[in-house]
Structure 1
């Protein structure tokens, strides 16, 4: 890739103490540079006289670890591990004497030395570039100048080119330090490049981007940033050439293609006609007059002050979550909007984004408020300008940041952009057809969090979420995740909800999901509620009356307060009613006054009643229009209303805009919205209570009829606009279910469920599929309805699997039901799928015998019926799995071979998201494991490497994580004893599992991370005892995690590994306990694939207990078990152990014959450590 390009600037030197140079400045006596090639200078001249590099290494180690005294014996063992302790300590003394001479430490200015310890003096007159680097980047938010100074310090990797060959411990320490500084450097470079790109200084940004990709060439967001900057600096040819070089290196080094986003960017640059595109400075709609009528906002000064305090705290300290509460009509929405306007004036750099939830489809419409906010971030802000939500300043702020938002989404949240942003809202260059993929919910959560974090670097973020009482489960889960993500960033998340709605009964839940979120945030952060119901009602009544000149006395004000109790909407509507009735009139000077005796007893006593009176004064034609509009919800399309009323669209728009908006203030314009190739006119009721009243006046028959017409009209509108139906399927399902049009309701619920699954919004998907099944249960059972139930059941099972795991009883019940339904119609493929997941359920629960039985039924269907090769692969894969764990290796191998033989990567790889896994890769992985057991080491290694290549070409995080753990880590730890490589695989698997929240992989990865840690640290003796303890803790944690998710498959192997690790540490008691657990798991569930190894370790433990006869019996049993299972690898290990025992007893000939017979099998196989060890005994 590109060579490292250092950027040099003048740097201040931080020195404490020291002498003065001829200019009168403080001069450091000792200067050490480790960020690049090692440089040591004393008194402004290169240091010389070091006897060896080991003396230099000793100095560097003491300097970098100066925070604590280091014991002499530990240092001696650290630097001279192969020497006896006495000689090693003598070497340390000689090295120390040489070091003190070179750095002029006769007076102890640099080193604190005792008979037991050594320590570099933290107050010494020395300058170390690594410490300067860390100091510059130490703040949570380093200033721009600090970032630039820090990266200019770095001339290469930590101790670049420096090593000492005979101290593995020092090399490992240096490697960890190198990685730490590399990550700090990358983070600083990314911040600098992003800052200058966002501030339209690409010429400066591109230098930092070059450095970033030279240090980490495989980090593709960095590569994309460089390509964009090259284009912006009019280096289009260089951008294309760089991509081609990167693509070739990826292919040759890793055997994979660049990420989809990188390929799309390349195509955009390739197809562009100019180096850069002009940026529109002002949106066109800002030049048009805004006709919205806004009402005064009064008597909320105390609440606004509290919100401003929260915002100030969020900007200067950790991010904040705050909630505004109040009943319907109390003024929550107006408070949010007013606060946002004031905050924008106070902080011009503020970025305000609004999200809303919907009453009729919100709970089943995944991520709706976040989709709204992302749409605004990329420029869809005209509706909020039209309805008065955004001021001109807010519009301009968002408009100028829209390209920044798109760029950030491409870099840190590509799945969020693909799944949550309407592509028609994106610039042409950013639009692309997304591949068939379904990111996990956790990936969406992490990406959304990263996007908000990065976006907040361009200005404090104010996220306003209204009507949270109607929020969907996926958004609630995302809010839980963001609680941690906003910490340390200038982000205020402000939500509004009605407390009374949280008390209503919830389907499938004890309480509203928002309750737990509010409770936990209150518990962590204290009082975070701004409650409008506790505001002073009299103050509001007086303030509202005084928004216009009046002669209204105290008696009138008191009666008005008694009537309305200061409820905001009720008061406003009540006063409007008095004015319309003539009870309040203007005098000659324009002052309001009482027009006569007000009969208060005849006035409406509730908000709903005053709204009713207001509607009653409208002509019947306008009432009808509002009734029809209310069917769509609080927001509606004029085109649909016009179609249902059979009136010209222009007439309807006139009535809505001129009459109902500006005259009656019952609705408001939301502007024009682009839907595919059409633009539609959007309006909303000014308050949800207006929509609720208009809808409530329709009887059941009218509602059903209008819902059906509305559903048909919306479906036609989106069809003619050439727009994908899935994003609005939830809305259509709501209309057709309300109309009791079962067939269409089922169809759209299924589409909505599939869309929710694509978003990993499993709760919403489960809700849609359950509704489909409930609707289908009301219809007569016909072959067609049974097939629909099967389709819905399989989809429901997939959603439940994702949310509850393989061991869920509800998952089993769903697939049991699907299997029963399949028996009533011809549904072979669906039968195989249901049996596949039932087999998985029994296998994971540890009932291997039942899993094998079910898998045979599945296999019979796949063999006898016409099903796809994908279903046949599934059948053979799951038929082999329980057999392998039961120790029936030959039978298992035959199934895995058949599955992998049918696999065509080009044909089957795209189906991985449909089936949830890649059966070709999985079958090759398990084939590799069976062959390892059977001693086909060369072929086993080929299988696992092939599986790894296949999974590397997939964009499927779970499969990749599984491959790293099962094809990578276990191969290199169990069979090759390459612990360093195994650690790399485990760490990658854990990272992917954490990002995707793959509980099973996380449990196994944690366990094997602990095991590798223990084994790796054993060679360091007592100095690494704490790490050994930590390793055992990780192993226990992994076992607990596996138990928590109900998984039993392979648990006997984990207990075996734990037992052997305790044995290696000499912890015989713990080893026996773990081994007994392994035996109980293996024998209790017939999980016998490691039976021979359990017996071998048991024999070793008997030898430690000096029970020679029992040990030999166990080793003989191990050999017998291995031969029965055709498991030559385990036979070799048991035979090697028994051979050692016989040689100690003088049975040389027997031992030689036993081992020779077994080793003959491994002729021609690659020499694994166990094979080499056995051959050495001969």
Structure 2
């Protein structure tokens, strides 16, 4: 049942071999005098009982995973019900049965308070990267496992560089990898160069959690191509949000891969909320259950009597039904309690062997005086130990479920070798209260790691001491840990923060809380980082205002990125007041810029610009610095997004000159992007393309993925706006490839949206529709992707409206309506309102649709420059008279044409020329100028054809036919109608899904053309 597991003893012996080799030449007498283990009940206790059904289920799941049908399975049960034992027994069994299987495990920690981001997954990646003793914490190490891991190590290191570079220095320590790379020969030299390069350090300073999670997932998928993987996650009830997010993403993407994830948790802990929010694991369980169906093995539902009987019957005994029933009533069949109670009964003499070697009830058996709870049974066992061993265990319990022999030794002023002997020989082999995990080096010092056999044992020992003694003991443990990790304090920051908090020394705790927050922030675990910063701020020294302001700035950034915008605003405002009082104008200016960004995201452009200018006024009082350049470039971006391109270019030129003077590459790239987009929008595509191409190449050289993507998306959109679809397609294909390789969800998804839009416009409807599933995938993977959510859903709505599915289009747009309104940017508002009006009209809400279009056109008309995204909405508004004839829509049509003419003068592109000619034709036909209308429609149709815009051409051909009828040219009209219908028919043939095809073929556009062809044919 895991407590008296002979398999674990073998495992511990193999782990201790390195320590024994070190000590054997100095202390041979210790090895010779070691006493044999005492005989606990039962002597030949098998490693596992009463779990054959559960083991068989797990084996079945693994067999499926080995075939490529990867999956997640959880073992649920309360403390002491055998979750860890089941995981360990299964792991050892399958490693024996499958020589190529790689098993790695990790544990969540009950004593890290706020959370240790990604802890079990960090331990797993450390196993793969050459630290197999990390596996021992989960009891999953097999004697052959180090050999298997060694064979896989070169592949692991290669994948870290090629597939998961952001994990280096965030999920896995750089020093560990440097050691393995330097000893791995020429083929690992690339890794060494990568780790030591400044570009990698710069590249890893601003990583999104989605990128880390994506890279970790891809790495596991690629490793499983070389060997099947069993990943074991224990104590998930203590999981932090980052661990839950990574588990969720990896768990959903196992199909087609030889990976099985096996997790264990306590249902009662997961049912409890954290700070009023659901437990991080609860959503994971719910969502994965939707993917996999039943995914939990509940040990709490197992029949306790079966366990009691099987446990007793391992050895020969003469224990009757009354004894078995009473034992069951006493323990409820709880595995840990039952085993501990039987051991206690043996020690008391309540169980003895008769002359035939059969276990029987002893003459002194008295059920009334036996422990009534598992804690009592543990207490009886502890009380039988010699006092020095009890004190040693009590001291160890202050470090947590896992502890360090050297720390215990120094706290107690003991000889470290004697401490290790007591732990390994006495408390491990003899008493089975702890187990050895292995050793590691920190700053040149060897640290020997152990783990309590069960957390209930650790908790019992910890609670034996009173509050006063606990405080002093935590202080001693904290200072000792500090001395051991003095050269690598980052590695112990979480533990030290907890220890000093428990020691009630806040001035020390805040140092490590801040350090833990910075660690979490570097690893993109921003929720945990914010919690650490908030905890540090509660006790931050009152006289250190500068440090407090810096901490508030860090906290505000975390809150902003995790969309806690109002919290971030409050935090930044407090930080600003402190910087202002200290006359730290650089800090004050930086925070004012951050507040400006916040207001932009909240959709308040006026306040956003105000705070950007506040930042400017503050920073201009100081010598020119990078923060000033950033503020200037931010103002340029605000004007660019608002379509105020003259101001965007003026501010952009100032930002670029200052950034070049200061050598601020990030600002150079930012300002080039703003200016490049502005030149495209003001009819100077060659200059826009030059700036964006240069920005792209510089960002690529500097390995700044976000800036690479921003340059590509702006370049692609610029070409799209000028109707250069071939050029735009190449750019978006490159963006798609690069963003997917670097796991940047918002840009990977945006590239597919823009490619899909181009394909839709150019009549490649099958390809366009095929992009939908992958866009949805990127939407699910993304973090803080409101922009992608809007552009994707507007694109989907465009498809649905053109296919005649107005109700689904309406639902998509309704969901993002408030978000679009909040952004208040024409590049989003224009396309949204066009599809919103079409959807509303399609479901019979014409009045609302008309009102929305009137407001949109009035807003567009107020601007000096009109962005390209306004062109097709203007065409829709211009022809709205057809949908809803009235004086209002006539005025709407005229105003839209005036603005469309302005847009064409601004861009002077084939795209705007085609749109303007189509608009002129509609206006001229309404005014009775039939001949002019025919000329305009003919010109527009030719221009749309030159752009491969087949759907737009079909629309214009339809209107040409109507115009030809008015001139009496029925035969020409029939030819034109047939061409338009042929276009629509070919589009319909590309639609694979019958529901979509049927809907499209029954749209008013298609049906109207069919009727016109029949009528014209009859007339002819």
Q: Which residue is equivalent to 1:963? A: 711
Any conservation in 1 of the 2:721–2:911 contact (CA below 8 Å)?
A: no
For residues 56-455 of structure 1, what are the structure 2 equivalents within 5 Å? 285=18, 296-297=46-47, 298-316=49-67, 318-361=69-112, 364-382=115-133, 384=135, 389-422=140-173, 423-424=175-176, 426-428=180-182, 429=188, 430-431=191-192, 432-433=195-196, 434-436=200-202, 437=204, 438-455=206-223
Q: Which residue is equivalent to 2:548? A: 789
CA shift in 2, pair 1:857/1:999, >3 Å: farther
CA shift in 2, pair 1:906/1:664, >3 Å: farther
Find the residue that maps to 1:770 and give its secondary structure.
helix
Any conservation in 2 of the 1:1009–1:1034 contact (CA below 8 Å)?
A: no
Instruction: State the distance in 2 between where 1:1103 and 1:396 align.
Output: 73
Q: Which residue is equivalent to 2:603? A: 846
Question: Is residue 629 of structure 2 the alignment partner of residue 873 of structure 1?
Answer: yes
Pairing partner for 1:727 from 491, 495, 508: 491
Instruction: State the distance in 2 between where 1:564 and 1:760 align.
Output: 45
Unaligned runs of 5+ in 1: 1-281, 910-917, 1146-1167, 1170-1178
Q: Which residue is equivalent to 1:90? A: none
Instruction: State the distance in 2 between where 1:1079 and 1:942 align.
Output: 37
Pairing partner for 1:693 from 460, 468, 476: 460
Q: Which residue is equivalent to 1:35? A: none
Q: Which residue is equivalent to 2:406? A: 639
Any conservation in 1 of the 2:80–2:337 contact (CA below 8 Å)?
A: yes
Any conservation in 1 of the 2:493–2:516 contact (CA below 8 Å)?
A: yes
Question: 1:765 Cα shift?
Answer: 1.4
Question: 1:604 Cα shift?
Answer: 0.6
- Structure 1, residues 213-251: CA drift from partner, whole Å, max 9, x if none? xxxxxxxxxxxxxxxxxxxxxxxxxxxxxxxxxxxxxxx
Question: 1:641 Cα shift?
Answer: 1.0
Question: 1:1054 Cα shift?
Answer: 4.1
Q: Which residue is equivalent to 2:442? A: 675
Instruction: State the distance in 1 between where 2:876 and 2:234 align.
Output: 66
Q: Which residue is equivalent to 1:764? A: 528
Any conservation in 1 of the 2:897–2:919 contact (CA below 8 Å)?
A: no
Pairing partner for 2:758 from 981, 988, 1012: 1012
- Structure 1, residues 135-168: CA drift from partner, whole Å, max 9, x if none? xxxxxxxxxxxxxxxxxxxxxxxxxxxxxxxxxx
Q: Which residue is equivalent to 1:862? A: 619
Pairing partner for 1:504 from 266, 272, 283: 272
Instruction: State the distance in 2 between where 1:329 and 1:827 align.
Output: 56
Find the residue that maps to 1:902 and give its secondary structure.
helix
- Point out which structure has higher relative CO (alpha carbons under 8 A, 6+ apart): 2
For residues 571-970 of structure 1, what are the structure 2 equivalents within 5 Å? 571-587=338-354, 591-719=358-486, 722-723=487-488, 725-776=489-540, 781-782=542-543, 784=544, 786-804=545-563, 808-866=565-623, 869-886=625-642, 888-904=644-660, 907-909=663-665, 918-935=666-683, 938-966=686-714, 968-970=715-717
Any conservation in 2 of the 1:1013–1:1031 contact (CA below 8 Å)?
A: no
CA shift in 2, pair 1:407/1:817, >3 Å: same
TM-score by length of 1: 0.64
Any conservation in 1 of the 2:92–2:141 contact (CA below 8 Å)?
A: yes
Instruction: State the distance in 2 between where 1:981 and 1:1131 align.
Output: 14
Q: Which residue is equivalent to 1:42? A: none
Larger mean Cα displacement after TM superposition, 443-452 or 319-328: 443-452
Any conservation in 1 of the 2:643–2:867 contact (CA below 8 Å)?
A: no
Pairing partner for 2:239 from 471, 492, 500: 471
Q: Which residue is equivalent to 1:984? A: 730
CA shift in 2, pair 1:1054/1:534, >3 Å: closer
Any conservation in 2 of the 1:1060–1:1071 contact (CA below 8 Å)?
A: no
Any conservation in 1 of the 2:77–2:266 contact (CA below 8 Å)?
A: yes
Question: 1:478 Cα shift?
Answer: 1.1
Instruction: State the distance in 1 between where 2:549 and 2:61 align.
Output: 52
Q: Give the total of aligned pairs.
A: 839
Larger mean Cα displacement after TM superposition, 384-393 or 315-324: 384-393
Find the residue that maps to 2:630 and give its secondary structure.
helix
Question: 1:487 Cα shift?
Answer: 0.9
Any conservation in 2 of the 1:1095–1:1117 contact (CA below 8 Å)?
A: no
CA shift in 2, pair 1:475/1:995, >3 Å: farther
Any conservation in 2 of the 1:921–1:947 contact (CA below 8 Å)?
A: yes
Instruction: State the distance in 2 between where 1:544 and 1:531 align.
Output: 20
Question: 1:888 Cα shift?
Answer: 4.5
Pairing partner for 2:263 from 487, 492, 495: 495
Instruction: State the distance in 2 between where 1:1092 and 1:1109 align.
Output: 22
Find the residue that maps to 1:711 and give its secondary structure.
helix
Pairing partner for 1:530 from 259, 272, 297: 297
Find the residue that maps to 2:436 and give its secondary structure.
strand
- Structure 1, residues 1051-1093: CA drift from partner, whole Å, max 9, x if none? 42345457899999xx999999989757635866998354587
Question: Is residue 863 of structure 2 the alignment partner of residue 1088 of structure 1?
Answer: yes
Any conservation in 2 of the 1:638–1:653 contact (CA below 8 Å)?
A: yes
Instruction: State the distance in 2 between where 1:709 and 1:346 align.
Output: 46
Instruction: State the distance in 1 between where 2:819 and 2:272 align.
Output: 32
Find the residue that maps to 2:233 and give its secondary structure.
strand
CA shift in 2, pair 1:381/1:1060, >3 Å: closer
Instruction: State the distance in 1 between where 2:361 and 2:875 align.
Output: 103
Question: 1:1015 Cα shift?
Answer: 3.4
CA shift in 2, pair 1:1009/1:399, >3 Å: closer
Any conservation in 2 of the 1:1063–1:1101 contact (CA below 8 Å)?
A: no
Two-structure CA RMSD over aligned residues (Å) = 4.5
Question: 1:726 Cα shift?
Answer: 2.3
Question: 1:862 Cα shift?
Answer: 0.9
CA shift in 2, pair 1:891/1:334, >3 Å: same
Larger mean Cα displacement after TM superposition, 301-310 or 587-596: 587-596
Any conservation in 1 of the 2:71–2:260 contact (CA below 8 Å)?
A: yes
CA shift in 2, pair 1:1104/1:830, >3 Å: same
Any conservation in 1 of the 2:857–2:874 contact (CA below 8 Å)?
A: no
Pairing partner for 2:827 from 1031, 1049, 1053: 1053
- Structure 1, residues 434-485: CA drift from partner, whole Å, max 9, x if none? 4231432222222222222222233332211111111121111111112221
Question: 1:1099 Cα shift?
Answer: 8.5
Question: 1:646 Cα shift?
Answer: 1.6
Question: 1:1013 Cα shift?
Answer: 2.9
Q: Which residue is equivalent to 1:106? A: none
